[in-house]
Copies of this chain bind each other. A is one copy, B any other.
Amino acid sequence: MARGINKVILVGNLGNDPETKYTQGGMAITRISLATTSVRKDKDGNQQERTEWHRVVFFGKLGEIAGEYLRKGSSVYVEGSIRYDKYTGQDGVEKYSTDIIADEMQMLGGRGEGGGGGGGGGERAARPQRQEYSSSSSSAPRRQAPAPQQAPVDDFADDDIPF
């Protein structure tokens, strides 16, 4: 139940390795910085690039997976929603932040994957190249799992439904 749609779809590359923390309750919170670059022609006809750096947050099971499989340079599809926050910084000044709360992600082949510079790379060697994950309803507090799908065909003994 909600009023309105707040949906974000991103495909981009991580600027750094993910950062994972855990709440007192043991829930994973993983943050990444994701770049998307667009190009336009300026009035002189020159190509101008502009990169947006999105702060994407994954909670719960999705946070664990993001923290484990994503690395600097990884290419990833993310679906989620925008959240704007206002808080008071250490310096007593009000600050604003914008985060993308992910509720689905899928690793895409590309630079950064499989790779992963540095010592921690070993255990990631066998990871799948293209899999989609959704935030698990059990541990993810903000987003719920859109995952399991498609009814057993034999559950449709009803009638002439052609599927």
Please tell me how many copies of the chain the complex holds: 4
Chain A window 147-163, contacts with chain B (Cβ cutoff 8 Å), 1 for yes, 0 for no = 11111100111110111
Q: Is the CB of A4 within 8 A of B36?
A: yes
Cβ–Cβ < 8 Å partners of A87 in chain B: 162-163
Contact A106 B2 (CB under 8 A): yes
From B25, B53, B149, B157, give the contact of A144 (CB < 8 A): B149
| Interface residue count on the A side (C-beta < 8 Å) | 85
From the candidates B12, B39, B129, name the one contacting A5 in the complex (CB within 8 A). B12
Chain A residues touching B, majority SS: strand
Residues of chain B lying within 8 A (CB to CB) of residue A93: 93
- Please give me the residue from chain B that is nearest to A86 by CB atom: B162
The answer to whether B146 touches A103 (Cβ under 8 A) is yes
Instruction: Tell me whether A143 and B146 are in contact (CB under 8 A).
Output: yes
- The residues of B that contact A84 with a CB separation of less than 8 Å are 52-54, 98
Q: Is the CB of A99 closer than 8 A to any CB of chain B?
A: yes
* For the complex of A and B, 6 pairs with smallest distance between CB atoms: A141-B151, A109-B110, A4-B36, A87-B162, A2-B132, A5-B11
In contact, A108 and B11 (Cβ under 8 angstroms)? yes
